[in-house]
Amino acid sequence: MKFSVTAIFLFTVFSTIGHLRAQHDPHFWTGHSTIVHLFEWKYSDIAQECERWLGPRGFGGIQLSPVNENVIVAPPASDNNRPWWERYQPISYKLTTRSGTEADFLDMSQRCNAVGVRLYVDIIINHMAAHPDDGSTGHGTGGSTAVPQDRDFPAVPYILSDFNPSCEITDWNDAEMIRNCELFGLPDLDQSIETVRNELVAFMDHLIDLGVAGFRVDAAKHMWPADLEVIYGRLKNLNTDFGFSAGARAFMMQEVIDNGDHEVVRKYEYNHLGTVTEFMFSYYMGRAFRGNDELVWLESFGEDWGLLPSRDALVFVDNHDNQRHDFGTILTYKLPKPYKMAVAFGAAYPFGQLRIMSSFAFDDLDIGPPMDSNGNIISPSINTDNTCGNGWVCEHRWRQIANMIKFRNICWDTPIANWWSNGENKIAFSRGSQGFVAFNNQGVDFLEVLQTGLAPGIYCDVISGDKEGNSCTGKKITVLEDGRASIHIAHDAEDGVLAIHVESRL
């Protein structure tokens, strides 16, 4: 059969578009959703967590900390803890870090995929580690050791010509400088060079062979979209040995910090390539649940607010960067009541691809995960109430957050209905006939009779407790024959949110 030149051109264009749009699919198992960032966890602990908590609780996947060999940052003599940001200074693509070896990674991948929890690797493909003598130390402070000299990274290998000419980003209104100069003084790879592309594709393909479902692309804003399009397009399909369908493409989460129209590099330049980090979600959630904006305005929340289209937006209340640097704006585990409310809204409101943070405790902004005197990561301990110890926060194990992920899964693909507000800081809505949620961010009690959209019966409020058999450890809500229920949230309650769904019916 013969094809015209025009037909061949159109086939190529539409095939490429379809190839790239497929990179928006996170490949969740049915009945699972939401990505949790297990920040700096060991692979052996992640494998256990998939089997005992994440899989059974319906979590969709895990964002992993960078998995390839990185610079070792010498800690102060008084502190045996190395900073978290050393993981963002790679020296090779060998799969060995303080989280474990390649063999540990494969064991984790097999065990997590087997229980329906996908893996997404945080990859550093914009730069390599800083030269030890140039005074550049990445995200934080301190000195680095064991870094190859003169931008020669023989373990990759990279040589000087694989990098852009050395220059500092001095003008954040210059897109070319942002993409071609050095972020935090880190040697900037030139992704237009074929040898660089070959190394990056080989690195990512190897992770695909090991069963990952996709990638979180660090510093995507600092790379040209056209270069990323080539690199993404050359990747293998996902490995069917790990339960992916034939022809499945890697899910992409691209870090583009875009805080509004004043930015010269925009999130809209990257969303055709996959999802993009929607930092404005963090900002608006922080403002609303800190009480700086009224909750009533959230009825229209989404693209009309200047956010990306829902399918393109990776949304989060906080992440490992802004929880350390945007005090007064971003909500974190340090303000548990409004934080849980914001995460609950993100889980209940059908916008974006949701990712939640699972932190270790910190006061020092540079400090790394809990470690022993030899620099080995200490495993989280699990308390009797399912929370974590040993210095780990584990927000994903908080009852209020874990139960809202189940709410999200149950209400998947159902519309918002029965929106109600008092015109200020009390709101409620249902998700079709599957679930109902209410929020009180006002200094007085919430006491209203509202339409829940649910069938009549007695329901367990999954925020204040758990359904255990035919009983409830928290509040019980009675839904009448007409779907209405009396909703009460005290202004001084531990949690400012209430949620019920069809599977919490007693």
**Rg of the chain over CA atoms, in angstroms?**
23
- Percent of the chain whose pLDDT exceeds 90: 87
Give the CATH class of 5-277+360-393. Answer: alpha beta
Question: What's the CA gap between 483 and 473, in Å, rounded?
Answer: 23
Overall average pLDDT of the 146-170 stretch: 87
Domain boundaries, the chain: 5-277+360-393, 416-504
Over the chain, what is the mean pLDDT? Answer: 92
Question: Which CATH number is correct for 416-504, 3.30.420.40, 2.60.40.1180, 2.70.98.10, 3.60.15.10?
Answer: 2.60.40.1180
Q: Among 138-152, 227-241, 263-277, 299-313, which stretch is predicted with the lowest mean pLDDT?
A: 138-152
For this structure, is 481 an active site residue? no
C-alpha to C-alpha distances, 192 to 69, 229, 230, 314, nearest whole angstrom: 23, 11, 9, 27
Between helix 225-233 and helix 5-21 the angle, nearest 10°, is: 90
pLDDT band of 132, cuts 50, 70, 90: low
pLDDT band of 131, cuts 50, 70, 90: low
| 269, pLDDT greater than 80 | yes
| 11, pLDDT greater than 70 | no
Q: Do residues 186 and 218 lie in contact, with contact meaning Cβ atoms separated by under 8 Å? A: no
pLDDT band of 261, cuts 50, 70, 90: confident
pLDDT of residue 76: 61
| 285, pLDDT greater than 60 | yes
Residue 314 forms beta bridges with which residues? 277, 353
CA 32 to mean position of chain CA atoms: 15
| 17, pLDDT greater than 70 | no
Q: Do residues 216 and 123 lie in contact, with contact meaning Cβ atoms separated by under 8 Å? A: yes
Question: What's the CA gap between 150 and 153, in Å, rounded?
Answer: 9
Query: What is the tens place of the pLDDT at every residue in 303-349?
Result: 999 999 999 999 999 999 999 987 788 999 999 999 999 999 999 99
Please state the length of the chain. 506
pLDDT of residue 130: 87
pLDDT band of 219, cuts 50, 70, 90: very high
pLDDT of residue 136: 44
Which of 49, 104, 255, 321 is flagged as catalytic?
Answer: 255
pLDDT of residue 260: 87
User: Token pair of 117, please?
Assistant: 């929890």
pLDDT of residue 21: 60
C-alpha to C-alpha distances, 88 to 91, 154, 184, 222, nearest whole angstrom: 10, 19, 11, 14
**Looking at this protein, which amino acid is placed at residue 394?**
C
Overall average pLDDT of the 413-435 stretch: 98
pLDDT band of 149, cuts 50, 70, 90: low
pLDDT of residue 472: 98
| 195, pLDDT greater than 60 | yes
| 2, pLDDT greater than 70 | no
Q: 3-state secondary structure string, 398-417?
A: CHHHHHHHHHHHHCCCCCEE
Phi, psi of 419 (to 5 degrees): -65, 135
User: Token pair of 324, please?
Assistant: 């350390």
Cis peptide before 157 (omega within 30 of 0): yes
For this structure, is 104 an active site residue? no
Q: What is the pTM of this model?
A: 0.93
Query: What is the tens place of the pLDDT at every residue in 79-99?
Result: 678 999 999 999 999 999 999
Overall average pLDDT of the 134-151 stretch: 50
pLDDT band of 145, cuts 50, 70, 90: very low
User: Token pair of 282, please?
Assistant: 């963090």
Which of 104, 188, 199, 218 is flagged as catalytic?
Answer: 218
C-alpha to C-alpha distances, 332 to 336, 359, 395, nearest whole angstrom: 7, 9, 10
Overall average pLDDT of the 118-130 stretch: 97
pLDDT band of 147, cuts 50, 70, 90: low
Q: Among 74-78, 350-354, 467-471, 473-477, which stretch is predicted with the lowest mean pLDDT?
A: 74-78
In the DSSP assignment, the letter for residue 55 is T
Question: What's the CA gap between 251 and 25, in Å, rounded?
Answer: 6
| 214, pLDDT greater than 50 | yes
C-alpha to C-alpha distances, 397 to 85, 269, 426, 487, nearest whole angstrom: 25, 36, 27, 26
3-state secondary structure of 287: helix
Question: What's the CA gap between 157 and 121, in Å, rounded?
Answer: 21
pLDDT of residue 7: 38
Question: What's the CA gap between 14 and 225, in Å, rounded?
Answer: 18
Query: What is the tens place of the pLDDT at every residue in 425-483?
Result: 999 999 999 999 999 999 999 999 999 999 999 999 999 999 999 999 999 999 999 99
Burial annotation 402-432 (CB, 10 A radius, 16+ → b, else e): bbbbbbbbbbeeeebebeebbeebbbbbbbb
| 353, pLDDT greater than 60 | yes
3-state secondary structure of 65: coil
pLDDT of residue 115: 98
Question: What's the CA gap between 225 and 221, in Å, rounded?
Answer: 8
Question: What's the CA gap between 473 and 420, in Å, rounded?
Answer: 27
Question: What's the CA gap between 120 and 107, in Å, rounded?
Answer: 15
